[in-house]
Structures are given as C-alpha cells and as structure tokens.
C-alpha cells in the first residue's frame, strides 16, 4: 500500500476524476499512473530525482503527478503561462531529469526537450517512497530575487491532508469541485492529492468561471475549494442569478483559502448561500496550518485553530515568544510535521526562515481569539503581494520592469482591490524622452515572469519618493491619489 495514496488501489470502480464528459475511475487512474511511472523508470529516471511537468489542467497531468508520487520521483510543476525569464530560472534551479507535458507541442521551444506523458503500457510497481522523500518542489516568491523551490515531502503532505480530512469530515463520499491551478499547494496538494488520499472524487474544471463552478456543484459536487477572488466573482454572478446561488447553497462545505476572505465578503456569501464558508490558512512552505472545523464555530475573519499536531506561537520582531492574551499581536511561527525541510539549493534562505528548533517564521501577523482561533491581521513585508491568491514579490516585478529599455527606476506595491485582494501597481520613472505605455510594461512583465505578476496599474512619475538613506518610501506611493 502506498503511504500517501493508500486508497488508490482500494476502490477500483469509484470515480476519481471527472473532467468534461469523461470520468476516470480509481482503477483507470491507478493503471495510468503506474504506466507513466514505468515509462519514466525505463527512461532512466531514478526515484529521488526531479521531473518537471507542465501543469495543464487535464487528467494526463494528474495521472503523471500520481505516477511520480508512486515511484518516489519528485514533481516540479510548471505554470503553463510561465514567462521566459522565470521558466529559465526554474529549469536551471530544479535541473529536472526530464520535462514532460500532456501536449508537448503547446510548449515547443520552451525547454530543450519536452516528452509526452505516456499513460499506457505495462504498469510499474515500485517500492513505496519514505516519508522524508521529496514529493514536490513548488516555486514560491519572496520579497526580492527569483522564486525559491520549496521542497515538500510525502510525510508533509500525508500529515497535512489527514489533519484537514479530520477538520472537514472529508471522505470518499465527497466530490470536490476544483478550478484552481495545478502548480500550487491549494490546487495540487489539497485539491488533487487530498481527494485521492481520502478516496473522494474530483470534478476538475480546466478554467475558472462562476457559471462552470455552479454547474459542477449542481451536478453532484459536495465541496468547493477556491480563493477569495473566485468567491468574489461567484458572489457577483449569483446575485444576478439566484438559481445558481441555490446550487452552491446545497454544498456540504465551501472552503476558502490562500488569501484573506474579507469579513464583508464572508457575510455576503453567507447571505447568498445560507451557509458560511470555512477558512483555512497556510503557506507553500508549511502547507495548511489552521482550519475551521466542519462541525465547529464559523467566525468571519478567523482561519480556525491550528490543526492538531501543529505548534503555533506569536513572536515579536526579535522572534521572542509573546505571552498569549487578547490584545497580543505578533508574527506567526509554526512547527510540525507539515513544515517543509527547506528550499532547494538555498540553505541561506532556509536558515533565515527557520530556527534551530524547527520553527518556521511565516511573516504573517496575527492575533488569537480567546477560543484559540487565529485571526490573520497583516503581513510583515510590504514587498510581498497576494493577488488573486498568488504570492508575488515586489522585487521580482521591479527587476523585470528594469529590464525594459525605457525604464530607469521602478517601485511596485500592492493596492487594496475588492476582486483580487491586492492589485499590483508599478510606479515607473522613464528615461528622458521615453514614455512607455502601461500596456507595454504590463505585457513585458507578463512575458518575462507570468501574466498574474503583471502590474494592473502603471503610473509614470518624475521621481520616486525616497528617505534620507535613498530608500523608496513605498507607503507614500501606495497613498498617492489614484
């Protein structure tokens, strides 16, 4: 029995994935995943090595992720929209043994050699990987520099998914409606691997639309995982289409995460659907740390208590623990079996984020309610932006802007946004005689990094406000009249 996916071979006729008109049973998935593993092993990929995979939202990609997990081969999922600069960085840093795609032609020329995922042929039965073996390397942004590869082990994922299954009463009777990207924790670990660990079914939507989500819920969905931006768009849609609101109202559980769900939005969703969404909180590096329980209180603005087995404390600016109390605000530090072992090739960054006792410092600022629920109230670094549930470092966007020949200086901030949570705004000083258009600069960033990292607002300014030390005063920029 595979330690991460024990149900894979245990319920052959149960539906595993529904995508479009096709339904793939657990037997189909198990067979396809093992055939894929056999091809990789025959091609000389060894357990413990890394394989990159264009994470297109289709069954072949999912089967390849599962096959890699069965064989102990680490998956490096690639955002299909990744820009050229960021893709080159990831491929250099992760140095995958192979790059795979369900449709290699789509990505022709984007990597030296791209192999198709092959799902037929004799299945492999490799020995199961150990808890400490790498399951995934997930690239995540910091305040500066290029994204870092967070190493997630089989043990990290198994612990976290079991804790979440307990919190949400998640079982094989569930069908999860899922329209999240497959290259981050939320969509890939929770949505895909979580469903398969508990033996549930997954209704995969290749593209998020409110109409598509409502139709999938009406077609038998019991749970929805989505980011606040998706809930915002679903709410807008359902206010105009009450019949669709009723479809979501029948859900067993609506779960929101990856960014704060504003209290106002929470109230709006409760009114629309007759049930309050559950929030959960986590990071790529730690997986999910806190979650409201399906049978517990649902308080707007809180992300639930720490999951059983997760140690959570609030610390001050010097990482000294703060005595818990109603007025206490501090940075969230965590320890537990879901916390990653470190960043790939970056012992410096790992040592900065974690202490010798194994506590990871999240950068999130929180308070604790008297009942022990966590309320996230902010973030330490203004240079980290969460937009549509994606984390973006201001530094990487600034560096990309500076590569544009017309840009002399650039400062990037996140501005509050009802839809995206934060929208990326760039303040740009152009070289004399140059006036690049906002669209041109946004396209430039989308081409180098990824479309979700493009600035949605670009303002040309004559100079950037700086303090006496020459440091850009970002708070002043964010406060400039629109």
Residues found near ligand MLC in the complex (CB under 6 A): 81, 180-181, 184-187, 208, 227, 229-230, 257-258, 282-284, 388-390, 442-443, 446, 451-452, 454
User: What is the closest distance, in whole angstroms, from the C-beta atom of residue 60 to ligand MLC in the complex?
Assistant: 19
User: What is the closest distance, in whole angstroms, from the C-beta atom of residue 255 to ligand AMP in the complex?
Assistant: 10
Find which of ligand AMP, ligand MLC, none residue 355 binds, CB within 5 to 8 Å per kind: none
Find which of ligand AMP, ligand MLC, none residue 421 binds, CB within 5 to 8 Å per kind: none
Q: Which residue is nearest to ligand MLC (CB)?
A: 388
User: What is the closest distance, in whole angstroms, from the C-beta atom of residue 472 to ligand AMP in the complex?
Assistant: 22
Are 90 and 82 in contact by the 8 Å Cβ rule? The answer is: yes
User: What is the closest distance, in whole angstroms, from the C-beta atom of residue 464 to ligand AMP in the complex?
Assistant: 26
Which residues does 226 contact at the CB level (< 8 Å), separation at least 6? 179, 180, 208, 213, 234, 254, 255, 256
What is the C-alpha separation between 240 and 96, in angstroms, rounded? 47
Of the two residues 375 and 459, which places its CB atom closer to ligand AMP in the complex?
375
Angle at 160 between CA 159 and CA 166, to 5 degrees: 95
Contact between 31 and ligand AMP per CB under 6 A: no
Contact between 386 and ligand AMP per CB under 6 A: yes
Contact between 346 and ligand AMP per CB under 6 A: no
Residue 8's Cβ-side half-sphere holds a number of Cα atoms within 13 Å equal to: 22
Residues 175-204 that bind ligand AMP (CB under 6 A): 185
Contact between 376 and ligand AMP per CB under 6 A: yes
What is the C-alpha separation between 243 and 365, in angstroms, rounded? 39
18 strand-pairing partners: 23, 203
CA-closest candidate to residue 435, choices 453, 456, 408, 415:
408
Of the two residues 99 and 136, which places its CB atom closer to ligand AMP in the complex?
136
Of the two residues 182 and 283, which places its CB atom closer to ligand AMP in the complex?
283
Find which of ligand AMP, ligand MLC, none residue 303 binds, CB within 5 to 8 Å per kind: ligand AMP
Are 223 and 253 in contact by the 8 Å Cβ rule? The answer is: yes
Of the two residues 98 and 362, which places its CB atom closer to ligand MLC in the complex?
362
Which residues does 358 contact at the CB level (< 8 Å), separation at least 6? 335, 339
Helix 263-273 / helix 228-240 crossing angle, nearest 10 deg:
40
Q: Is 306 helix (H, G, I), strand (E, B) or coil?
A: strand
- Bridge-based pairing of strands 342-343 and 148-153 is antiparallel
Kindly list the residues in this chain that would bind ligand AMP in the complex (CB under 6 A).
Answer: 140, 185, 257-260, 279-284, 303, 362, 364, 376, 379, 386, 391
């Amino acid at each position: 029995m595979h330690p991460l996916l024990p149900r894979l071979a245990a319920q052959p006729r149960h539906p595993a994935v529904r995508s479009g008109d096709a339904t793939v049973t657990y037997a189909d998935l198990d067979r396809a995943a093992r055939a894929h593993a056999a091809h990789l092993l025959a091609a000389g990929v060894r357990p413990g090595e890394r394989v990159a995979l264009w994470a297109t939202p289709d069954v072949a990609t999912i089967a390849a992720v599962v096959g890699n997990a069965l064989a102990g081969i680490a998956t490096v999922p690639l955002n299909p929209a990744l820009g050229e600069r960021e893709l080159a960085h990831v491929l250099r840093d992760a140095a995958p043994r192979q790059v795979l795609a369900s449709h290699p032609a789509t990505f022709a020329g984007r990597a030296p050699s791209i192999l198709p995922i092959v799902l037929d042929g004799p299945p492999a039965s490799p020995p199961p990987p150990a808890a400490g073996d790498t399951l995934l390397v997930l690239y995540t942004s910091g305040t500066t520099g290029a994204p870092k590869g967070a190493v997630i082990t089989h043990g990290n994922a198994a612990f976290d998914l079991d804790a979440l299954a307990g919190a949400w009463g998640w079982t094989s009777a569930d069908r999860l409606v899922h329209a999240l990207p497959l290259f981050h924790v939320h969509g890939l670990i929770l949505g895909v691997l979580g469903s398969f660990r508990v033996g549930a079914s997954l209704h995969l939507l290749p593209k998020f639309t409110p109409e598509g989500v409502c139709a999938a819920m009406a077609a038998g969905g019991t749970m929805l995982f989505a980011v606040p931006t998706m809930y915002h768009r679903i709410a807008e849609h359902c206010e105009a289409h009450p019949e669709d609101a009723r479809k979501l109202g029948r859900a067993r559980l609506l779960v929101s995460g990856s960014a704060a769900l504003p209290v106002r939005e929470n109230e709006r969703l409760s009114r629309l659907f007759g049930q309050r969404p559950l929030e959960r909180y986590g990071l790529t590096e730690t997986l999910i740390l806190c979650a409201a329980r399906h049978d517990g209180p649902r308080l707007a603005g809180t992300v639930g208590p720490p999951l059983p087995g997760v140690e959570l404390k609030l610390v001050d600016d010097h990482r000294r623990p703060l005595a818990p109390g109603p007025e206490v605000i501090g940075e969230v530090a965590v320890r537990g079996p879901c916390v990653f072992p470190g960043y790939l090739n970056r012992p410096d960054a790992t040592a900065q984020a974690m202490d010798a006792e194994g506590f990871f410092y999240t950068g999130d600022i929180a308070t604790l309610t008297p009942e022990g629920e966590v309320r996230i109230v902010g973030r330490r670094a203004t240079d980290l932006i969460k937009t549509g549930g994606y984390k973006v470092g201001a530094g990487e966007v600034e560096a990309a802007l500076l590569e544009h020949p017309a840009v002399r200086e650039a400062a990037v901030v996140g501005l509050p946004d009802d839809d995206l949570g934060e929208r990326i705004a760039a303040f740009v000083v152009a070289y004399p005689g140059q006036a690049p258009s906002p669209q041109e600069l946004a396209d430039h960033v989308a081409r180098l990094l990824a479309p979700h990292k493009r600035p949605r607002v670009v303002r040309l300014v004559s100079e950037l406000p700086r303090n006496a030390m020459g440091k850009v005063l970002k708070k002043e920029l964010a406060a400039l009249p629109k």
